Structure 1
Amino acid sequence: MTTKIKFKKPEVLAPAGTLEKLKTAIHYGADAVYIGGNAYGLRSRAGNFTYDEMQEGVNFAKQHQAKVYVAANMVTHEADADGAGQFFRTIRDIGIDAVIVSDPALMELCFMDAPGLPIHLSTQASATNYETLNFWQAEGLERVVLAREVSMAEIKHMRQNTDVEIEAFIHGAMCISYSGRCTLSNHMSARDANRGGCSQSCRWKYDLFEMPEIGERTSLLKGEPEEEAFSMSAVDMSMIRHIPVLVRNGVDSLKIEGRMKSIHYVSTVSNVYSKAVQAFCEDPENFVFDQAWEDELWKVAQRELATGFYYGVPTEEQQLFGQRRKIPSYTFIGQVLDYDEETGIATIEQRNNFGTGDEVEFYGAGFTHHSQMIDKLWDEHDTEIDTAPHALMTVKTKVSKPVKPLDMIRKRK
């Protein structure tokens, strides 16, 4: 009798910039989410959480056997850490499962003022070898979020030489600077990237100009009008095809980037990666990659996709030059609020304009999908209408297959 191979199922960790995104990510399969508070994080423009929202999020997560982590990963200058001890005590008492930190000063405050609150090392700290992982474990940290510059071979070697939990990014935007430690935004827009104000100056379009006189300038690149003259804009990461090797190499948490992305993005990536991880861990020996998973990710992609540093140093092929070779093709248009089994009518909250005659796709947790034409629409007063043009308006339509509350709807652009 042969023994069935089993691997530890890694956590799928999704971004949650708002309470709505937190609930969406968990509903769509995420085992954990990471959020930001109103201070000490690196996403000052994200919908960061108040303490009351954190409490509601934690309560929701626990009801669904999920975890909530708080990012407090800024690099502190003088006075930046004021009040951090109270912040850590409060989130500990709320029930936050761990705090993600890069600055040793904040770690010390957390250890002293909020004992019992686990600390995870942020990717900003650039952990790239097992000696570093063991150092932070000896300092009392439970998990290390690896630098995005590590290779798959290095992760395998780390796992063989340490038992600290390993978290690795597997999907989302890539920073052009080493582990996100950039000052370009500081110089270009006076916004400190390492204190939460990054203006993504690397994503801007740059050109080279001849300026013989003040006020005069002539482009020396003379690019075609349709070309996009990016200089430092990396493509996004996607490791959907490499889930088996990540699991075999002992990665404990698979992290998805994107706290400022939409619920369309959060629901889709959580849905895809949770499905792929489940499929592999349930039957590793007979695992077969489903092309539908990758196709689904393209529906919310903002840039082209690659594997980052996992299989070698990225080349110019992983930078955005000229026209995009593949662009997103779907728009998020609504979310199901209710479904009447007897009539087959779904009640929908509109998120983008759509109307009769549109071919739309419904998708739900567990990777359910169906497409159909919108034949008729009614408003909340049951008056027949042709379009749903108003943001967040409630509409009804007959669906060809059963749907559930929180199912999403999109259409081709």
Structure 2
Amino acid sequence: MSNKTALKLKKPELLAPAGNLEKLKFAIHYGADAVYIGGKQFGLRSKAGNFSFEDMEEGVKFAKKYGAKVYVAANIIAHNENLEGAQSYFKKLYEIGISAVIIADPALITACRQAAPDLEIHISTQASITNWRTVQFWKNEGIPRVVLAREVSIKEVRQIKEKVDIELETFIHGAMCISYSGRCVLSNHMTSRDANRGGCAQSCRWKYDLYEDGVDESVNISEQNDEAYTMSSKDLSMVEHLPDLIDLGVDSLKIEGRMKSIHYVATVVNVYRKIIDSYVDNPKEFKMNQQWIDEIWKAAQRSLTTAFSYQEPTESDQLFGIPDRLPKYDFAGLVLAYDDRTKLATIQQRNSFKVGDEIEFFGPDFYHFKQTIQLIWDENDKPIEIAKHAMMMIKVKVDHPVNYYDMMRKGK
């Protein structure tokens, strides 16, 4: 970690993914300063919920209420047929009140500038920016922020920040692409789905085996009981190293995951919000809390790595061999109300739970407690043993006060 100065550290933006309107609200409620979303066109996550213009309007209205921003990813690598309608699309985003668009393709940058010259443009990680001269190029083009490639090290971030006065955005958490800055053609080859236009089939995460050329293809040459191979990376996590990026003056810390669950978004945002605030408020006395690290693992889908941040990745950074055993949790319920007199919480069920289950409540600012479910009442105040119907409204007696939009999780 770099030397801490007596000067007040700049608090970076915490930027969270939002695959749909509900996830946007959770991300902001749990501490995101900004969210990035995708529209129905020009984005790289065609399988995410994605936003209609009406949803965008509601999302922007909600974000402004909490002092947050909404960015739209329009980061495909466009072919000729993909450019139709780009100008009208960007014009509409500007009218809605989107704070910035994230673009990789110069053709789309041109379309945006022609149609909505006052709409801020950020250069996407898909542009593979790995050196300060490229950053300087985009600054000279009038771009206020670039999203660095995931292949950039901490040392290189420092050099870029020293050389060019521009906002830098870096990924701090989430899935890593095995291909250079996400420019993959494996999906195209295997499924005819273009990863660079939003159709990635995640072929790298499939399980593969080895076969000898020209020999019976039903007989593989792996050792018995060997785990099948993948070609994919562990997920990125900078949870234990966030102060390094804050010390460098990185302007925006970005979480990957527009296709991830509400539980993932809320949990990961909650942890990074707590670390950022704790470190910036008192860097000299800051200590990493093991509970923050443990909490990140509750949302992990794969093993974690710092990827390119400190050294070139090795086989230990790949998903290779028998996978690690990870904690598994379900988002069991959402708190909608709490009666301080009766100690009853009104909860919207999201996954099945029953009397006798150990559950955990958590909320913004890293509020947590565990308890065992003793009694459940349905919406007619009738005692029940199990809350098994999706989105049903129930009441549960809780050991400690809870608040609106606190979440309840259950281990699998």
Q: Name the TM-score, length of structure 1 as normaliser.
A: 0.97
Aligned partner letter, 2:179? S
Q: Which residue of 1 aligns with 2:20?
A: 18
Instruction: Tell me, yes or no, if structure 1 residue 36 matches structure 2 residue 38.
Output: yes
CA contact (8 A) 1:337 1:349 kept: yes
Mapped partners of 2:385, 2:259: distance in 1: 32
1: CA distance, partners of 2:386 / 2:367:
26
1:123, distance to aligned residue in structure 2 (A): 0.2
Determine the structure 1 residue equivalent to 2:50: 48
1:242 aligns with 2:244: no
Shifted more, 205-214 versus 356-365: the winner is: 205-214
Letter paired with 2:102:
I
Q: Supply the RMSD in Å over aligned alpha carbons.
A: 1.2
Determine helix, strand or coil for the equivalent of 1:205.
coil
Q: CA deviation at 1:223?
A: 3.9
1:138 corresponds to which residue? 140
State how far apart, in whole Å, the 2-side matches of 1:76 and 1:343 are.
58
Name the structure 1 match of 2:176.
174
Distance of 1:388 and 1:263 partners within structure 2: 20
1:1-400 alignment runs, 5 A limit: 4-210=6-212, 217-224=218-225, 227-400=226-399
Aligned-pair CA distance for 1:26: 0.3
Write the distance in 1 (CA, Å) between the matches of 2:103 and 2:292.
32
- Supply the distance in 1 between the matched residues of 2:239 and 2:214 (Cα, whole angstroms): 50
Question: Deviation at 1:211?
Answer: 7.0
Asked if the contact 1:166–1:252 (Cα under 8 Å) also holds between the matched residues in 2, the reply is: yes
Q: CA deviation at 1:229?
A: 1.5
Quick check: 2:327–2:411 contact (8 Å CA) kept in 1?
A: no
- Does the 8 Å CA contact 1:211/1:217 hold for their aligned counterparts? no
Return the offset for 1:298: 0.3
The structural deviation recorded for 1:78 is 1.1
Q: What amino acid does structure 2 have at the position aligned with 1:82?
A: E
**What's the offset of the Cα at 1:88?**
0.3
Q: Give 1:222 shift.
A: 3.4
CA distance in 1, matches of 2:149, 2:342: 52
TM-superposed deviation, 1:341:
1.1
Q: Percent identity?
A: 58
TM-score, normalised to structure 2's length?
A: 0.97
Structure 2: runs of 5 or more not aligned: none
Task: Give me the whole-angstrom Cα distance separating, in 1, the residues matched to 2:130 and 2:211.
Answer: 39
Name the CA distance, whole Å, in 2 between partners of 1:402 and 1:62: 28
The amino acid of 1:217's aligned partner reads S
Task: String of CA shifts for 1:366-409, please: whole Å, max 9, x gaps.
Answer: 10001000000011111111011111111111000000111011
Question: Greater CA deviation, 143-152 or 203-212?
Answer: 203-212
Aligned residues of 2:151 and 2:308 also touching (Cα < 8 A): yes
**Residue pair 1:363, 1:408 contacting (<8 A) in 2 also:** yes
Assess if the C-alpha contact under 8 Å between 2:15 and 2:36 holds in 1: yes
- Counterpart of 1:406, as a letter, is Y
Q: Please give the per-residue CA displacement for 1:70-100, whole angstroms capped at 9, x wherever unaligned.
A: 0000011012010010000000111000000
Aligned length: 408
Conservation of the 8 A alpha-carbon contact between 1:145 and 1:167: yes
Q: 1:139 to 1:344 in 2, by over 3 A?
A: same
- The 1:342/1:152 distance shift into structure 2, 3 A limit, reads same
